[in-house]
Chains A and B, each alone.
Chain A
Amino acid sequence: MSQLTDALASNIGHGQGPGTDAGKSSKPRKPPKVPRGKFSVHFAHYKWLYLLLVPGVVYFAVFRYAPMYGVSIAFKDYVPFLGVNGSPWVGTQHFQDFFSNPDFPRLLGNTLILAFLNLGIAFPLTIVLALLLNEVRLSILKRTVQTLVYIPHFLSWTIVASLSFLLFALDFGPLFLFLNNVMGTNIDFLSDPNWFRPLIVLQEIWKNTGWGTIIFLAALATVDQDQYEAAIIDGAGRFRRVWHITLPGIRSTIIVMLILAIGQMLNTGFEQIYLMTNALNRSVADVFDTYVYFVGITQGAYSYSTAVGLFKSLVGIVLIFGTNALAKRFNQSGLF
């Protein structure tokens, strides 16, 4: 999350920061009077704009950048009593330990598989649902459905996990009985490692797909209605219209959302996975987030878990810049 915010921060910083950008943006209004060159004159001229900037800068400095100082413990052997400054430096020891740890390939694998499943299944479903909702013409039905699909988003993962435990409970859960009857099996979905990932993705879809449609629905509202009329006159059916007008119309939104989603990819969600983990499915359930909690918080290995977290953030940054660059290469407007 933080790398994303930081990326956004630097983006915002470019837009309003000192230098020529701010000058350019208000140039059209008072072109002749803009004094150039001397900073103090420039500053005096735009003092109110700079004043508006202050809260944002303070916020990011205090809550986003200052805590990053603590990241230095990834390179130290941190003991709470000795403090961040007092703890001895150990260089990249924790990173070496982590990469040579037998858990590492498994964690990376589990995290990536879950991430790609979520990205490959849950993300497109959001768009599909948004398109479906967009096609509903009956306003009351559309609104009702929208409200209903938003609701799960407001339930905490604890409740979602409890519901799953009830529905899939061994021997009496309704879904346990139904699915096993249909498939003619006797699977304990909650502890079978093969069913862990489907369950996680299913929960994710149930909880967040509806909520994710909001931005796409907003984008869909901006698509030019004249084009549809023209297409109808030309004899285009519903699917043609969706394919040739609607989807291209929200393409830039999809790409921005995709870049954001990819930046978040490794954040597989601690609570959800932690709650669904047990001894029998741990081999597929351990991801970076639960590992950091397990090692860092419960075992007090702060430095080590910070190193793991830092590694995760670095991968996140690489992913977000990579996708952005890729989007630009294909002539799409990227995020920044």
Chain B
Amino acid sequence: MMRRKLSLAAAVVTATAISLTACSGGEAPAADLSTVSIMAPFLEAQPPSADGAVQKKLEELTGKDINITWTPNASYEDKTNITLASSEIPHIMVIQGKTPGFVKNAEAGAFWDLTDKLDDYPNLKTTFPDIQQNASINGKVYGVFRGRAPMRAAVMFRQDWLDKLGLEAPKTTEDLYTVAKAFTEQDPDGNGQDDTWGITIPKWGALGSNSPYDLIEEWYGAGNRWTEKDGKLIPSFETEEFLEANRFVKKMVDEKLINPDFATFDGTKWNEPFFNGKGGIIVDVDSRVSVLVNLFKQADPNNYENKVGFVGNLEGPDGELHAHPTDGYSGFLAVPKSSVRTEAELAKVLEVLNTMNGKDVAILLNNGIEGVNFTVEDGKAASIKPETEESKAVTTDIKSYAQLGMNVGGNTFYPVKQPTEYEQQVFDKRTEVMAEDLKSAVYNPAAPYVSATYVSKGAQLDNIVADARIKYLAGQIDEQGLKDAIKLWNTSGGDKVTEEINQLWQDNK
């Protein structure tokens, strides 16, 4: 009796143990890699279906079964870390940035070092080596970067208000103040009430996140995250220009030229005050211009032109243009070592990535399927109207599939033909303004460098200054308080970060 019980117990234990090992030992089947698994974020409400037309075409073009795990963008970072700790690791992972979690894993050897490999593949050899360098960890390239237009900063404003008040589009930060003040005080909507303000800024505090604050600081000449001074790199908030820029913003807050709830205003509602005629200026990326134009168009298709005006970067008080570029990439596609074990397997995966970077796949991922949802007119992709069930599905799906696009050799897909003449004009002007501003771009000199101290506590450190900046603007602390916070950044580990960054900068010069 007893013995039988014991053996039963033993059996249960063994069974559990077996099932546990079965979970953890997900050995990838041999090296032929007929199926390539990819983990990618999606920003739409629904992930694309696994048997849609885009998926089929992608498999046809790459000659592989592509198995994509779509993960909601909001929890992507968490999911990346959890996936790396698990045993179900895909062959290719979209990594959204050099987060501490990624850096630690990469330095522990979780991903293949592709520094010397990418140049062997015609479509993976980048024509933007600087951006590839920016996306690297101290010079080591751990993934194929996803290229993004580096110049995106723009100031957009209500053109109708500007015309009504007889003002010029701003060229300098001082002009921005003038326009914001007029929008606040001169009743630009003509309803006889004091119910408008100049600039709308949402809850958005983090340092170096291309926020409106970051842009204005850069325009003032504070630099882009890091700036060179006396042969040494220092964080941009340690410059005098940083303080000047924030004095300028504070002046606008104090004079109520900025929405009073800028510390808590929900960023997803950013367009509303602009559209509803409350706040007349937005400082953000230029693509928002087209979004705003479209908002007005949907509200009134017959009268939407000349509602939205925009300019690019603004000249600072020193009379020079310090345009604010991004680092030129939005994460990268990395290859984990635990799923791709040998050099031979890696070569196969890179082959797939090479195909995905080719023109055909680039068009598929960004434009869709020619003849189904778009046709080519004067080198532009024009969407086919009216939409069919089929074309709609493709158009929806590519919004997610574009996440897989890398375009390290520049955009090889077709630019989108805008639906109306006016929108095409706006689009062309955007392209033109951004190209012009790019010539005056001030890049982040420390972009490729990752300091060990910053990895372990950088976000907490930066929060000290970021929160102090908002508190200063809101009037909770004075300028001395802001300076004290910057000093606290230094003493809590920031000095070490600066030291390490400078070391890396010197070593790689």
B338 proximal to A (CB < 8 A): yes
- Residue pair A79, B105 in contact (C-beta under 8 Å): yes
Give the complex CA separation of A114 and B414 in angstroms. Answer: 56
- Residue pair A299, B100 in contact (C-beta under 8 Å): yes
* Known contacts A300-B101, A301-B456; A280/B470 CB under 8 A: yes
Kindly provide the distance from the CB of B456 to the nearest chain A CB, expressed in whole angstroms.
Answer: 7
- Residue pair B263, A279 in contact (C-beta under 8 Å): yes
Give the complex CA separation of A299 and B263 in angstroms. Answer: 23
Total of A-B residue pairs, C-beta within 8 Å = 95
- Residue pair A81, B110 in contact (C-beta under 8 Å): yes
- Grouping DSSP codes into helix (H, G, I), strand (E, B) and loop, the A interface class, with mixed when no group exceeds half, is helix
Closest B residue, CB atoms, query A302: B81
| B-side interface size class | 35 or more
B56 proximal to A (CB < 8 A): no
Give the complex CA separation of A82 and B459 in angstroms. Answer: 23
- Residue pair B85, A279 in contact (C-beta under 8 Å): no
Give the complex CA separation of A297 and B108 in angstroms. Answer: 18
Give the complex CA separation of A295 and B102 in angstroms. Answer: 14
- Residue pair A103, B263 in contact (C-beta under 8 Å): no
- Residue pair B467, A282 in contact (C-beta under 8 Å): yes
Give the complex CA separation of A170 and B104 in angstroms. Answer: 42
Residue-wise, chain B 90-120 has the 8 Å CB interface mask toward A (1 for contact) of: 0000000001111011001110000000000
A102 proximal to B (CB < 8 A): yes
- Residue pair B84, A279 in contact (C-beta under 8 Å): no
Kindly provide the distance from the CB of A336 to the nearest chain B CB, expressed in whole angstroms.
Answer: 29
Contact of B105 among A80, A103, A170 (CB under 8 A): A80
B369 proximal to A (CB < 8 A): no
- Residue pair B99, A300 in contact (C-beta under 8 Å): yes
Contact of B471 among A47, A80, A280, A295 (CB under 8 A): A280
Closest A residue, CB atoms, query B106: A81
Contacts of B85 in A (CB 8 A): 80-81, 83
- Residue pair B476, A280 in contact (C-beta under 8 Å): yes
- Residue pair B263, A82 in contact (C-beta under 8 Å): no
Give the complex CA separation of A103 and B464 in angstroms. Answer: 11
Count A interface residues, CB 8 Å: 33
Contacts of A301 in B (CB 8 A): 100, 456
A203 proximal to B (CB < 8 A): no
* Known contacts A171-B260, A278-B263, A282-B467; A80/B474 CB under 8 A: no
- Residue pair B105, A188 in contact (C-beta under 8 Å): no
Closest A residue, CB atoms, query B459: A299
Contacting B at CB under 8 A, from A143-185, are 165, 169-171
- Residue pair A279, B2 in contact (C-beta under 8 Å): no
Closest A residue, CB atoms, query B463: A282
Residue-wise, chain A 190-201 has the 8 Å CB interface mask toward B (1 for contact) of: 110100000000
Closest A residue, CB atoms, query B2: A40
Give the complex CA separation of A298 and B79 in angstroms. Answer: 11
B34 proximal to A (CB < 8 A): no
- Residue pair A191, B264 in contact (C-beta under 8 Å): yes
- Residue pair B466, A279 in contact (C-beta under 8 Å): yes
Kindly provide the distance from the CB of A94 to the nearest chain B CB, expressed in whole angstroms.
Answer: 11
B5 proximal to A (CB < 8 A): yes
- Residue pair B2, A44 in contact (C-beta under 8 Å): yes
- Residue pair A299, B105 in contact (C-beta under 8 Å): no
Contact of B99 among A40, A44, A299 (CB under 8 A): A299
- Residue pair A279, B470 in contact (C-beta under 8 Å): yes
Closest A residue, CB atoms, query B476: A280
B396 proximal to A (CB < 8 A): no
- Residue pair B460, A295 in contact (C-beta under 8 Å): yes
What are 16 A-B pairs with beta-carbon distances under 8 A? A43-B2, A79-B105, A80-B105, A81-B85, A81-B338, A103-B460, A169-B261, A190-B264, A191-B261, A279-B203, A280-B476, A282-B463, A298-B78, A299-B460, A300-B99, A301-B100
Q: Other than the known A171-B260, A278-B203, what 7 A-B pairs have Cβ atoms closer than 8 Å? A: A47-B5, A278-B263, A279-B203, A279-B470, A295-B460, A298-B78, A300-B81
Residues of A in contact with B (beta carbons under 8 Å apart): 40, 43-44, 47, 62, 79-83, 102-103, 165, 169-171, 188, 190-191, 193, 278-280, 282-283, 294-295, 297-302
Give me the 10 closest cross-chain CB pairs, A-B, nearest first. Answer: A300-B101, A81-B110, A80-B85, A279-B470, A80-B84, A170-B261, A79-B108, A279-B205, A81-B105, A300-B100
